[in-house]
Copies of this chain bind each other. A is one copy, B any other.
Amino acid sequence: MQTLISEALALVGERWSLLVVRELSLGRRRFDEIQAATGAPRAVLADRLRRLTAAGICATRTYQPPGSRSRREYVLTDAGVDLLPLLAAFVDWGERHLGPDAVRDIEYRHLACGGHVTAQLVCECGQLVSPRDQLVAQINP
Interface contact A103-B1, CB-CB below 8 Å: yes
Give A105-124 as 1s and 0s: 1 = Cβ < 8 Å from B's Cβ atoms: 11111111101111111111
A2 touching B82, Cβ below 8 Å: no
Q: Which of A80-106 contact B (CB under 8 A)?
A: 81-98, 101-106
Contact A86 B84, CB 8 Å, known A4-B102, A138-B107: no
Q: How many residues of A contact B (CB 8 A)?
A: 76
Name the B residues within 8 Å of A88 (CB-CB).
121
Query: Is the pair A120, B123 in contact by a Cβ cutoff of 8 Å?
Result: no
A61 interface residue (CB < 8 Å to B):
no
Distance from A90 Cβ to chain B, minimum over Cβ atoms (Å): 5
**Least CB distance, A96 to chain B, in whole angstroms:** 6
Bound Cα distance A27, B117 (Å) = 30
Residue A15 CB within 8 A of the other chain:
yes
17 more CB-based (< 8 A) A-B contacts, given A7-B94, A85-B120 = A2-B103, A3-B105, A4-B91, A4-B95, A5-B19, A5-B91, A5-B105, A27-B137, A82-B96, A83-B93, A84-B135, A106-B137, A107-B138, A109-B135, A111-B133, A111-B135, A113-B123
